[in-house]
């Protein structure tokens, strides 16, 4: 009986895989056509009179894409089996069907709650949403298929960012992305697309007033996809379709996610997307109702939802983009707004490996609880809970930096930016600006008015950045912690240790290489920017300070500025674009992807040199 079931399963697998292979390239062409029609129409390339024909074309594309899912269910013979083969498609189709049934109930044909115009518009939006969902699933499957053909997955990782940046710049150049009368140059579009994809937050234009809702959504999509990485989405959907990942693909994703064990990559992908969705949804709920306009009056309900979702995604991805031209200056002492954003920034910067380790930690089996007589008998045989050394290092370093940042900002600016403010507002500004330089990019005060010591302190915080495997940039907390531990161990004449564990020498060398590469690149970029801006910001009284601050902010994907971003020349913008890209991809990943690593056949004899 078991052999019969296994044979049937094998035959079903072959039929479904054959059907999908036959539909692959047709669905790819249909997906590209449907996506292109959607973007060009909302980008105002097509005239409005084409709307009925565009809607008809999109409906046909949606039906064709649904045909593959229906074919899978037909070949699977059972609903449960078909669902197992096409979970993403089934969820998208089922959600669309339920929403369509709800709209039908509210339409003039049934209850009449919606008039003809509202019902037609709602069905059109639902069709477009369903089309985008299926198009995203299909194109990510194609991307996952293509990555298997490339020899260097790390090169694919870099190429995915380049492709996303170029596509984003093209979309921002469309007439429908900009308000009427505002012209956007190619360099500015490339700058904004790079800043969003690399979750930096530097902006040469005001996205809240100079981009339309379509342009803002393009930036938001770039932030979300760039923050997690397109390879993460592609690998997740590849696993959902049962194709799995080979050893090479798993190793590449492990390098991207900072996971050593290939077998853990698959479990992490689902956890990453789940944590992201949960945190961003919770953040949007917490931020709802807090947003005000330029005159201080609360925004309407629809705008409240949009602002809450936008800033929640921007905060969790550590992007720092705001729909307000002054970032969050108007909320300087508003704890209900700053607290959710602060928590999103911290969680997004901890790293998904750390978050998953904390979520799987068995607090109920802690040794302290075993001392309680009522629980001792039940817990005595339970395995002791344990956090990894990385989690402990990240939590300790993050907590120390948060406290140090808040106290440092408060002490340095007590007689300047914080002067004349109430104690609660001073605390809010100090705490927020103690964590924001750790790649978040939001600001509640004008940093151009801060003291030079404060800006230098901010540069140090920006260099540290967040933690590995997170949406943050910078040198990373573990890199700094390892270097400090190595220094202390060298002074004591011992091996590098942390939490009763010996740290491998290879990690110390890798941290040293990362530190050297970062410092070399930042100094080279600062010199290049000083030359390109010699007739502008570099010639100002605090020109070197502004240029250094700008380069470090761009490379560490922070997004804070002293006002230099809007004054950059075209050459200066290109330098900052390169800083943002290299800082997001990572200098070490860039070297590993472009360089060839050959096996060392022999080793030379040792000989010492004098140092110090």
Number of domains the chain contains = 2
Listed in sequence order, the DSSP H helices in 476-586 are 477-492, 505-532, 543-555, 570-585
The rounded distance, in Å, linking the Cα atoms of 235 and 141 is: 8
The rounded distance, in Å, linking the Cα atoms of 6 and 14 is: 12
pLDDT for position 569: 92
* 29-35, long-range: CB < 8 A, 24+ apart: 30/61, 30/64, 30/65, 31/61, 31/65, 31/134, 31/135, 31/138, 31/139, 31/142, 32/139, 33/57, 33/61, 34/58, 34/61, 34/62, 34/65, 34/131, 34/135, 35/132, 35/135, 35/139
**Cβ-contact 401, 461 below 8 angstroms:** yes
Alpha-carbon distances of 539 from 531, 544, 579, rounded to whole Å: 10, 8, 21
**156-179 pLDDT, tens digit each:** 777 888 888 999 999 999 999 999
Q: Is residue 364 in a domain?
A: no
Please check the confidence at residue 222 and state whether its pLDDT lies above 60.
yes
Q: Is residue 5 in a domain?
A: yes
pLDDT for position 261: 47
Domain boundary among 90, 125, 147: 147
pLDDT confidence band for 462 (50 / 70 / 90): very high
The rounded distance, in Å, linking the Cα atoms of 225 and 25 is: 24
Domain boundary among 147, 169, 199: 147
The rounded distance, in Å, linking the Cα atoms of 476 and 350 is: 10
Element (H, E) at 35: helix 2-42
**CA angle, 376 then 382 then 385, to 5°:** 105
Q: Is residue 603 in a domain?
A: no
Q: Is residue 552 in a domain?
A: yes
Q: How far apart are the first and last CA of the chain?
A: 75
Q: Is residue 216 in a domain?
A: no
pLDDT for position 195: 94
**482-529 pLDDT, tens digit each:** 999 999 998 888 888 888 888 888 888 888 888 888 899 999 999 999
Which residue range forms the structural domain that includes residue 531?
A: 388-594
Among 272-276, 537-541, 592-596, the minimum mean pLDDT is found in 592-596
Q: How many whole angstroms from its chain centre is CA 164?
A: 13
Q: Is residue 464 in a domain?
A: yes
Strands 497-498 and 501-502 come out as antiparallel
> Which DSSP state fits 436?
T
Q: What's the whole-model pTM score?
A: 0.86
Q: Is residue 242 in a domain?
A: no
Closest CA to 121 of 133, 107, 135, 110: 107
Three-class DSSP category at 608: coil
Three-class DSSP category at 419: coil
Q: Is residue 527 in a domain?
A: yes
Closest CA to 471 of 502, 440, 427, 437: 440
Three-class DSSP category at 502: strand
**248-307 pLDDT, tens digit each:** 555 555 555 555 544 455 566 777 788 888 999 999 999 998 998 888 889 998 899 999
The rounded distance, in Å, linking the Cα atoms of 260 and 244 is: 18
Please check the confidence at residue 11 and state whether its pLDDT lies above 80.
no
Closest CA to 245 of 158, 359, 164, 156: 156
Domain boundary among 122, 147, 172: 147
Please check the confidence at residue 384 and state whether its pLDDT lies above 70.
no
pLDDT confidence band for 117 (50 / 70 / 90): confident
């Amino acid at each position: 009986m078991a052999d019969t079931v296994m044979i049937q399963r094998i035959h079903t697998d072959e039929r479904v895989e054959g059907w999908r292979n036959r539909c692959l390239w047709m669905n790819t062409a249909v997906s590209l056509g449907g996506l292109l029609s959607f973007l060009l129409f909302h980008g105002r390339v097509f005239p409005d009179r084409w709307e009925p024909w565009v809607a008809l074309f999109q409906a046909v594309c949606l039906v064709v894409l649904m045909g593959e899912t229906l074919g899978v269910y037909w070949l699977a013979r059972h609903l449960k089996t078909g669902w197992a083969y096409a979970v993403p498609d089934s969820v998208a189709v089922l959600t669309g069907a339920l929403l369509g049934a709800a709209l039908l109930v509210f339409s003039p044909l049934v209850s009449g709650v919606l008039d003809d115009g509202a019902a037609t518009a709602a069905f059109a939006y639902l069709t477009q949403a369903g089309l985008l969902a299926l198009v995203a699933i299909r194109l990510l499957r194609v991307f996952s298929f293509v990555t298997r053909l490339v020899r260097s997955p790390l090169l694919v990782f870099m190429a995915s960012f380049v492709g996303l940046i170029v596509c984003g710049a093209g979309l921002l150049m469309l007439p429908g992305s900009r308000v009427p009368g505002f012209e956007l140059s190619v360099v500015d579009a490339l700058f904004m697309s790079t800043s969003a994809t690399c979750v930096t937050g530097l902006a040469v234009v005001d996205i809240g007033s100079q981009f339309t809702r379509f342009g803002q959504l393009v930036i938001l999509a770039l932030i979300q996809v760039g923050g997690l990485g397109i390879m993460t989405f592609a690998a997740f959907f590849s696993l959902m379709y049962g194709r799995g990942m080979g050893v090479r693909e798993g190793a590449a994703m492990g390098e991207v996610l900072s996971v050593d064990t290939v077998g853990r990559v698959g479990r992490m992908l689902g956890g990453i997307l789940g944590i992201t969705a949960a945190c961003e949804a919770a953040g949007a709920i917490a931020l709802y109702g807090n947003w005000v306009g330029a005159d201080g009056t609360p925004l309407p309900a629809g705008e409240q939802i949009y602002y809450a979702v936008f800033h929640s995604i921007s905060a969790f991805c550590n992007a720092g983009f705001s729909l307000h031209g002054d970032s969050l200056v108007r909320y300087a002492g508003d704890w209900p707004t700053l607290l959710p954003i602060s928590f999103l920034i911290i969680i997004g910067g901890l790293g998904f490996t750390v978050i998953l380790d904390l979520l799987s930690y068995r607090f109920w089996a802690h040794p302290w609880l075993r001392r309680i007589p009522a629980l001792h008998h039940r817990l005595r045989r339970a395995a002791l809970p344990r956090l990894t050394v990385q989690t402990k290092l990240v939590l300790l370093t993050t907590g120390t930096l948060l406290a140090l940042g808040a106290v440092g900002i408060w002490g340095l600016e007590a007689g300047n930016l914080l002067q004349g403010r109430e104690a609660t507002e001073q605390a809010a500004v100090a705490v927020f600006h103690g964590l924001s330089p750790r790649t978040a990019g939001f600001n509640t005060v004008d940093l151009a008015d801060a003291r030079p010591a404060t800006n230098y302190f901010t540069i140090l915080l920006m260099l540290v950045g967040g933690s590995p495997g997170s949406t943050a940039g910078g040198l990373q907390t573990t890199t700094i912690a390892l270097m400090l531990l190595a220094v202390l161990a060298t002074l004591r004449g011992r091996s590098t240790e942390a939490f009763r564990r010996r740290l491998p020498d290879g990690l110390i060398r890798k941290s040293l290489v990362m530190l050297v590469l970062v410092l070399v690149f930042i100094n080279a970029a600062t010199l290049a920017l000083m030359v390109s801006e010699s007739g502008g910001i570099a010639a100002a009284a605090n020109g070197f300070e502004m240029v250094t601050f700008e380069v470090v902010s761009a490379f560490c994907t922070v997004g804070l500025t002293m006002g230099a971003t809007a004054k950059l020349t075209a050459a200066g913008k290109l330098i900052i674009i390169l800083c943002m890209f290299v800082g997001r991809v990572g200098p070490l990943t860039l070297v590993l992807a472009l360089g060839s690593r050959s096996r060392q056949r022999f080793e030379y004899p040792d000989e010492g040199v004098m140092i110090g």
